[in-house]
Amino acid sequence: MNLAQKKGSHTAQCKIVITSNQGVRGGRIFDLKSTVDNAVKSCPSVRHVFVAKRTNESMPMGKLDISLDEVMVGQSPVCAPEPMDSEEMLFMLYTSGSTGKPKGIVHTQAGYLLYASLTHQYVFDYTPGDVFGCVADIGWITGHSYVVYGPLCNGATSVLFESTPVYPNPGRYWETVQRLRINQFYGAPTAIRLLLKYEENWVKKYDRSSLKTLASVGEPINHEAWEWFHNVVGDGRCPLVDTWWQTETGGVCIAPLPAEPGAEIRPAMAMRPFFGIQPALLGEKGQIITGNDVSGALCISKPWPGMARTIFGDHQRFVDAYFKPYQGQYFTGDGAYRTEDGYYQITGRMDDVINISGHRLGTAEIEDALDEHPDVPETAVIGIPHEIKGEVPFAFVVLKESATENQRAVVEEMRHLVATKIAKYAVPDHFLVVKRLPKTRSGKIMRRILRKVAMQDTSNLGDISTLDDPSVVSEIIEAHKRYRSHAAKK
């Protein structure tokens, strides 16, 4: 079975696919059409594939394919708007959770659009005439809400960015700011962490006087990245807003407001709820934690216009994933700290979801892809910190006895499996072959131990008495030591 089937992407019953012959990014070319062709083979609901010509490479056209450029020639430039019910589906986006297949998050017409446009205006201090530059990929929620729907609802000029921050050189963002006179620049900490390694002149040589607001999204922004973004890019004169939200929330929920009179923008991760958002911190026993200088599971207590309405085709899963963990609350999956003066700081995911360069991924998805290898009976993937990407996956794998001779080849095949079944960014940075995984007597993998081993922090492993066989721990620590010393020699 391939992953597309496993993921249940068939649930969307999609009829039309729009693609390009090839994709172009960071000086590289990708054969998008052939990827789509492969996917469509297992999707009987698809009737047409529209193919845009992004490059001059001609592609074989199959019987479902229609050239987008050719059919567009005969079309009217005006399309009458179609009235929709406010609660009808606007779009669906797949995102990862801690278990099972990705979830098709459903957003609806009126609430989502209202929320995207309102947050676009207030969080980023957008005023008519501004040029709004969100450099996120259009295919993710950030691109949906802040390249397309939010800015267009407000009649803004929205920049479409198709590249990487370092192609053809690390001045790419700031050259774009200068050329297009961008007023709001919205990007991800992972890109900032990458850019701050280069000479400041890559920033300084471009005119950035048009910038009014800088903004960050997707993962916690560390102090160094915050300071560089604020001081080097913004010359210390633009508010830098760290925005917290999720695919499910439709738009920004927690952020400082640049336009709020007297609002203070504090370095790194200090934010307040947006209009109408009521955050709550919940404790282990499900109690609401009151007061300040406290931490807990970040929930939202009241509905807001932009919230997701369901998981496509599986409403029960929606209820179970978001509303069951804490009675009467929407649970975000994140932990948070409320500071002494009532600001929120996000402390990270509380579930088995990791964040690789701002890409959200359930470790179970990587494990599923690895487990497809016939010589791999069992794997466990965890996230470990990485200087630039935030987090990277670390895979512990158990091989069949017969395959231990071919370890290197099997690892290569596993890399390929993850790259093709999920994406290149999901390929683990580390593969550690172990004889067995640390399991409790009830068969649950103790990931806490794997995390400590991978972080080389094994002085205090906590309670391991529930392990089926505690000697597995020293076995894994030894294997990891050998792995690290081997890696160091390379």
Q: Which residues of the chain form contacts with ligand WT7 (CB under 6 A)?
A: 95, 141-142, 217-220, 242-247, 332-334, 346, 349, 355, 360
How far from chain centre, in Å, is Cα 52?
Answer: 27
Give the shortest CB-189-to-ligand WT7 separation in angstroms.
Answer: 8
Residue 185's DSSP bridge partners are 133, 214
Distance from the Cα of residue 234 to its chain's centroid: 25
Min. distance of Cβ 97 from ligand WT7 in angstroms? Answer: 10
Residue closer to ligand WT7 (CB basis): 333 or 393 = 333
Q: Which is nearer to ligand WT7, 336 or 432 (CB)?
A: 336
What is the smallest separation between the CB atom of 7 and ligand WT7, expressed in angstroms? 16
In angstroms, give the least distance from the CB of 106 to ligand WT7: 14
Least distance between ligand WT7 and beta carbon 335 (Å): 9
**Three-class DSSP labels, the chain:** CCHHHHHCHHHHCCCEEEEECCEEECCEEECHHHHHHHHHHCCCCCCEEEEECCCCCCCCCCCCEEEHHHHHHCCCCCCCCCCCCCCCEEEEEEECCCCCCCEEEEEEHHHHHHHHHHHHHHHCCCCCCCEEEECCCCCCHHHHHHHHHHHHHCCCEECCCCCCCCCCCCCHHHHHHHHHCCCEEEECHHHHHHHCCCCCHHHHCCCCCCCCEEEEECCCCCHHHHHHHHHHHCCCCCCEEEEECCHHHCCCCEECCCCCCCCCCCCCCCEEECCCCCEEEECCCCCEECCCCEEEEEEECCCCCCCCCEECCCHHHHHHHHCCCCCCCEEEEEEEEECCCCCEEEEEECCCEEEECCEEEEHHHHHHHHHCCCCCCEEEEEEEEECCCEEEEEEEEECCHHHHHHHHHHHHHHHHHHHHHCCHHHCCCEEEEECCCCEECCCCECHHHHHHHHCCCCCCCCCCCCECCCHHHHHHHHHHHHHHHHHHHC
Residue number, 108 or 243, with CB nearest to ligand WT7:
243
Shorter beta-carbon distance to ligand WT7: residue 30 or 337: 337
Two tokens at 305? 């216009």
Task: List residues bridging with 395 in a β-sheet.
Answer: 381, 431
Rg (CA), the chain: 24
- Other Cβ atoms less than 10 A from the Cβ of 223: the count is 10
Q: Which is nearer to ligand WT7, 19 or 355 (CB)?
A: 355
- Residue 158 or 247 having the CB closest to ligand WT7: 247
For ligand WT7, which is the closer residue by CB, 95 or 357? 95
40 vs 426, beta carbon nearer ligand WT7: 426
* Minimal distance, residue 10 CB to ligand WT7, in Å: 23
Cβ distance to ligand WT7 smaller for residue 351 or 413: 351
* Exposure of 355 in the CB half-sphere (CA atoms within 13 A): 20
Pick 104 or 170: Cβ nearer ligand WT7: 104
Q: Cβ of residue 402: shortest distance to ligand WT7, in angstroms?
A: 39
For residues 340 and 293, is the Cβ–Cβ distance under 8 A?
Answer: yes
Closer to ligand WT7 by CB, 298 or 414: give it. Answer: 298
**Cβ 222 to ligand WT7, closest distance in Å?**
10
Determine if the peptide bond prior to 168 is cis (ω within 30°): yes
CB of 213 to ligand WT7, least distance (A): 15
- Output the six-digit token pair for 204: 């300084």
Least spacing, CB of residue 399 vs ligand WT7, in Å: 32
CB of 244 to ligand WT7, least distance (A): 4
Q: Which is nearer to ligand WT7, 366 or 397 (CB)?
A: 366
**CB of residue 228 to ligand WT7, shortest distance in Å:** 17
Rounded-to-integer distance, Cα 265 and Cα 118, Å: 20
